[in-house]
Amino acid sequence: MRFLKDNIFVTAPSDSICSEGDKLRLENAIKKFNSIGIKVILGKTVEMKNLYNDEEYKLKALEVEKALLDDNIDTVIAANGGETEINIIEYFDFEKLKDKKEGKKIFQGFSDNSILTFLLATLSDWKTYYAPCFPTFGYDNWDKTISDNLELLKGNIIEQSSQDFFETYSFKKVKGKELYGYNLDTTNKVVDLTNNDNFIINGTLLGGCMDVLKAIINTKYDKLREYNRKHKNIIWFIENCALSIEELKSTLQSMERNEWFKNVRCFMIGRGKITLDQQFLNEQNNILLNILSKYNVPIIINCDFGHVRPFNTLITGGDAILTYKNGKYTIKYENIN
């Protein structure tokens, strides 16, 4: 795999950069990378007005596809999340990307970018990084997970850990504090709903945001049966951004019916804004336990990824060793090439 050395291409396969806070963080991230000798190249889609039409979806698809195939570009990172990335994939040539045998590079993003991080892994056999979008690097204060993300982008194999605190009140939209960084204000404890005290599992990471992955299930882009024939041990990482309990239940059941979880060895459950409500979180945990316990594998909740920070870098399609003990976990990749 090609890792970050000289440049980053930023593109917007979902929404462009719109908010003033994201614009400030974008500018600051460019300055930070330039100061360490890494050039940032902005695609045309990054700051264009969102029109949400077919012409725009085609442009977005072609821009990210061209960047992934361009041997002069090291790394491709999404500019933002959103709700429309599912509309670009009909213009995207996954077979052409699958046929690229050398120089495959990282595509990184999360939330709506689950569409590409997931499909590039399952259709094109690329390893993608489920991790924050580019403006996150524009914070003045980096927590360990942001620093870890940069190390993994450079191709350095490191051990990541669940963090002791997470953010319930963000400064990112607070005037004057847009560049502050994560406000890690709440004590965290990772819990296994199946009551394991400790375990070590080797497996291939796969997952993303269920709010958007549900649009892939049982479509021509759903190749999980084929993927499962090649990957016998899957560590599923999933998060719920804003699905209601009924929508969550329906999505999980649909994944089940289409054999997405056939080879699961562990479930890692991230955080969405909706799960900051304790009553909702309790209901979600009950649904997860009721539906997923039949697989007789660990179900660890409060994991550090998703729409509530901090954010471990999860390599979709990457083989990892997941260790859980005393309410904490570590992730170590066996090989990220």
Q: Could you tell me if residue 214 is inside a domain?
A: yes
Neighbours of 155 (CB within 10 A): 14
Same domain for 25 and 127: yes
Same domain for 238 and 117: no
Residue 125, amino acid? D
Residue 240 is part of a domain; what is its CATH number?
Answer: 3.50.30.60
- Mean local confidence (pLDDT), 50-66: 97
Confidence of residue 310 (pLDDT cuts 50, 70, 90): very high
**Closest listed residue to residue 119, CA positions, set 111, 128, 131, 110:** 128
- What digits encode the pLDDT tens for the residues 230-260? 999 999 999 999 999 999 999 999 999 999 9
Contacts of 73 (CB under 8 A, 6+ apart): 7, 9, 41, 67, 105
**The pairing of beta strand 198-209 with beta strand 234-239:** parallel
Q: Are 216 and 119 in contact (CB under 8 A)?
A: yes
Neighbours of 285 (CB within 10 A): 17
Same domain for 284 and 170: yes
- Mean local confidence (pLDDT), 154-158: 95
Q: Are 44 and 76 in contact (CB under 8 A)?
A: no
Q: Are 124 and 98 in contact (CB under 8 A)?
A: yes
Residue after which a domain boundary falls, among 159, 193, 210: 159
Same domain for 279 and 170: yes
- Mean local confidence (pLDDT), 279-287: 98
Same domain for 215 and 105: no
If you ran DSSP here, which 8-state letter would residue 205 be given?
E
Q: Which residues pair with 160 in a beta bridge?
A: 331
- Mean local confidence (pLDDT), 143-170: 97
Residue 178, amino acid? E
Residue 133 has pLDDT above 90, yes or no: yes
Same domain for 57 and 19: yes
Q: What is the pLDDT of residue 162?
A: 98
| C-alpha dihedral sign at 253, 254, 258, 264 | negative
Same domain for 99 and 223: no
- What digits encode the pLDDT tens for the residues 170-213? 999 999 999 999 999 999 999 999 999 999 999 999 999 999 99
Same domain for 196 and 131: no
Neighbours of 197 (CB within 10 A): 9
Same domain for 274 and 231: yes
Q: How far apart are CA 109 and CA 128, in angstroms?
A: 8
Neighbours of 176 (CB within 10 A): 7
Domain that residue 102 falls in: 7-159
Residue 109 is part of a domain; what is its CATH number?
Answer: 3.40.50.10740
**End-to-end Cα distance, the chain:** 5
Residue 301 has pLDDT above 90, yes or no: yes
The token duo for 71 is: 């041997």
Q: What is the pLDDT of residue 188?
A: 96
Residue after which a domain boundary falls, among 159, 179, 213: 159
Query: In which element (H, E) is residue 96 found?
Result: helix 94-98
pTM for this model (two decimals): 0.98
Same domain for 93 and 198: no
Confidence of residue 58 (pLDDT cuts 50, 70, 90): very high
Q: Could you tell me if residue 202 is inside a domain?
A: yes
By mean pLDDT, which of 95-104, 120-129, 249-258 is the weakest? 95-104
Residue after which a domain boundary falls, among 102, 134, 159: 159
Same domain for 143 and 192: no
Same domain for 182 and 137: no
Instruction: Please provide the average confidence, as pLDDT, over all residues in the chain.
Output: 97
Confidence of residue 335 (pLDDT cuts 50, 70, 90): confident
How many domains are contained in the chain? 2
Q: What is the pLDDT of residue 287?
A: 98
Q: What is the pLDDT of residue 337?
A: 82
DSSP string of 119-176, one letter each residue = HHHHHH---EEE---GGGGG-SS--HHHHHHHHHHTT---EEE--SEEESS--TTSTT
Q: Could you tell me if residue 223 is inside a domain?
A: yes
Confidence of residue 334 (pLDDT cuts 50, 70, 90): confident
Q: Could you tell me if residue 2 is inside a domain?
A: no
Q: Could you tell me if residue 1 is inside a domain?
A: no
Q: What is the pLDDT of residue 257?
A: 97
Q: What is the pLDDT of residue 336?
A: 84
Residue 101 has pLDDT above 90, yes or no: no
